[in-house]
Chains A and B, each alone.
Chain A
Amino acid sequence: RKEVEQDPGPFNVPEGATVAFNCTYSNSASQSFFWYRQDCRKEPKLLMSVYSSGNEDGRFTAQLNRASQYISLLIRDSKLSDSATYLCVVNVLLGNKLVFGAGTILRVKS
């Protein structure tokens, strides 16, 4: 079983739609949590950190449920430019290696 599991998709949605991605992690000692975005043939880039209280950054909302070991990302009012692979990432020790899920593909169509 992989340490971080995600639905690979693809999620095909029209512009303006709301879309949600989920992720589960297996290591209960995980300390920090992130969503990264990766465009085709590019490096991963940090989209947002995820906090237990939930956090929002513009159209993006991230939630963490430590009891269920579950992380989510909600994107509202999808734009064409949101099309990418979204990687769920956990870090067991602060400053140490990141553990990535396989990614969820999002395609936003006009």
Chain B
Amino acid sequence: GAGVSQSPRYKVAKRGQDVALRCDPISGHVSLFWYQQALGQGPEFLTYFQNEAQLDKSGLPSDRFFAERPEGSVSTLKIQRTQQEDSAVYLCASSGPRQYFGPGTRLTVT
């Protein structure tokens, strides 16, 4: 399909492990966003790219979180030394005239 795709859909990590979450945006979309959604809450902004430039990373909760989009297309969100409080759904959205969300990656840290 032509929508935003994310992988993996589900990830279980032991506390302290590193994880990498991938987002494939809609082809041609310049803007890409990452959000974190905890259970029972709305999505919260993490970071924003325009092409390969990371223009806003104000929402990243700690320096364990790192995002990149080296060629202005696929993006990876990396979380180092995962903690239990990192358990959430991580949503990627790409933006043309409006934001389209991917299905998310559900991360569970045990």
Contact = CB atoms under 8 A, between A and B. Distances in A.
Overall SS of chain A's interface: loop
Contact of A45 (B41, B59, B101): B101
Interface string B12-51: 0000000000000000000101010000111111001000
Interface residues of B, number: 21
- Please classify how large the interface on chain A is, using the bins under 10, 10 to 19, 20 to 34, 35 or more: 10 to 19
Contacts of B48: 96-97
Given A97-B59, A102-B40, A43 B45 contact: no
Interface stretch (B68-76, B77-85, B91-99): B91-99
Contacts of B101: 43-45
B89 to A, nearest CB: 8
Interface of B: 31, 33, 35, 40-45, 48, 56, 59, 91, 93, 95, 98-99, 101-104
